[in-house]
A and B are shown apart, each in its own frame.
Chain A
C-alpha cells in the first residue's frame, strides 16, 4: 500500500455564479447557474501549475481533504491529491468542480428554475460531457487559468479530460485519462438503461418532479446504484470479498437478504439513495451514453483526435470489465497514429473499474512520475497571463467570465 504522507486538511467549497447563458449541445441553454468548486495548493505567478480534476458519476468537487462539518468525509480522490501525493498540492494548484446537473451544490435538477421558482426537476436540460467541459472552461476563465498543466479524471472524468483536448486543444498541456473509454459499448448503455428504468418506474418518481410531492424515488435509485456497483467490481473481487457467504445460518428458503453480497449491495444502494438525486443519476448516465467524440467523424476515433495537442497519460486496469483496457488502447492507437506523446499503462489489479480510486503502488508511482515531469517542465514553461486577470469573489457573481475559446 502507498504511504499517505499528507492531507490538504480542512477545505471550504466555493461557489461561482455565471449569469451568461451557456449554450448546450442539445440546443437548449442554461443561464444563471452556479458551480461549486474546491481548490488545493497555490496558483503560481505564471499561472502554469493548475490541474483540473474531473469527477465521475457519483462524485463531486470534493476531491481531497476534509470538510469542517464532516471529519470522516475525505475527498473522493484523497489518496491521489494532496501534499506529497501523486498530484502534489505543494506543487500544483488543483481544482475540483461539481458538474452542471449534479447534486452537490452546482445547479442541477434540484435547484430552483428561475423561470418558475420551483425545482427544475424533469425540466432540467440534458447536458453532455462537452457541456461540462464548456462550463469548466468558463470556471478556468474566472480563475484566471489560461492553460491547465493537466486535466485529469477517471472513468467519466477521463472522458471530460479527453474532451478538453478536442474542444480546447491549446488550453491544456497534459491529459490524464484513467479507466476511461472513448465511448460506451452497447452493454454499458444497457446497464445505464436498466438503472434509469429502475428510477423512472419507482412510483415516487412522479415523472421527475418528486420534489413537489415531498418524496424521493429511493427504491429505484437504490436499485440503480446496486446495478452500477456490480459493474464497478470484478468478478474475482466479488468472489474474494463475498464468495457465497451467508449472513444467515443456512438457507432460509425466502427472499430476504441471505447472502453477504446481497447485504452489501443493498447497503450500498440504500446509502446512495440517501444522498444522491435521482434526476442527476438519469442525467449523468445519459451524458455517459452520449459521449462519442468520433460520432461526427463517421465513427473514426483517429480522425476525431486529430485536433488534440496535449501529451497523454492513459491508464487502464486489467480486471475492469466496465471500461476494459481494450477501450483505452483505442485511444492510444488513435494518438499514436497522430504521433502524439502518450504513456499507456495497463495495471494488473484485481479490483475492476473501482481500481482507479484505490491504492496501488504501481498505479500511484506512475502517476507521481508523470506529474514529476509536468512539474519539471512547467518551470520552463512560460504561460501568458490573461490580459485582465478577473477577480474571483467567493460566492459572488463573476462579472461575465471571459468567453470560452471557440469549441
Chain B
C-alpha cells in the first residue's frame, strides 16, 4: 500500500520504534505504516464511524472521541510524536489543541491546506470563496472553520511555544521550493514542544 505523499513526509520525521499519537487518524494508514515499516506503537483518535472501522481493519489502536476530549485521556509526555494531519483547520479551539499536543509529546507534526495559495487569492479577487481539491467545500457547508496561511500558522506556533524545526510545502503532492507561501497547497511542520 502506498502512503499519501504528505503522510509519507510525516512518516519520515518519525523515529523508528517511537510512540505516536495520531489525532484525527482517518483510516489509520499512517499508524499502520509506522507500525509495519518502523516498529512504532501508538494510538489514533478519530470521531467518524467509517474511519474507526477502517482503522480497526488495519489493526490500528483507535479511540473514538473528538480531539478535544480525546486528548485529555493521555498523560503528560506519553508519546514521542503527536501528529495532526489535515485536521487543524477543522478544529474549534485551535490554540488549545496545539498546547495539548505540546503536553502529550515532545515532538509534533502538523499539516494543513495553505489558504494563501495563489489560486485561492485569485478566487477571492474574483469575489468567491476558494474551492480546491484540498478544501473541496462550499463556504456554507465546510468543516474547515480555521483556515490559515503558512505565516499565520508560524505566528500561532511561536505564541504556543512550539519550536519549528522543519517545514515542507507540497503542491499537489510534490515539494515546492520557490514562492512556497503562494504555491503550496499543503504545508507540513515539524516542531519541538519544549
Contacts and interface: CB of A to CB of B under 8 A. Distances in A.
Contacts of A342: 43, 61, 63
Nearest to B66: A346
A247 interface: no
A241 interface: no
B158 interface: no
What is the interface of chain A mostly: helix, strand, loop, or mixed?
helix
Interface string A333-366: 1001101011111111000000000000010011
Interface string B103-140: 00000000000000000000000000000000000000
Interface in A187-220: none
Interface stretch (A257-265, A283-291, A367-375): A367-375
Interface string B26-69: 00000000000000010100000100110011010111110000
B35 to A, nearest CB: 11
B73 interface: yes
Q: What class of interface size applies to chain A in its complex with B?
A: 20 to 34
B75 interface: yes
Contacts of A372: 57
A341 B62 CA distance: 9
Contacts, number: 48
A341 B56 contact: no
Contacts of A345: 49, 52, 64
Contacts of A170: none
Contacts of B41: 339
For the complex of A and B, list the 8 residue pairs with the smallest distance between their C-beta atoms, beginning with the closest.
Answer: A344-B63, A346-B64, A362-B49, A369-B56, A333-B73, A345-B64, A369-B57, A343-B56
Interface of B: 19, 41, 43, 49, 52-53, 56-57, 59, 61-65, 73-75, 78
Given A337-B75, A345-B64, A362-B53, 20 more contacts: A332-B63, A332-B73, A336-B74, A336-B78, A337-B78, A342-B43, A343-B56, A343-B61, A343-B63, A344-B63, A344-B65, A345-B49, A345-B52, A347-B49, A348-B49, A366-B52, A366-B56, A369-B56, A372-B57, A373-B59
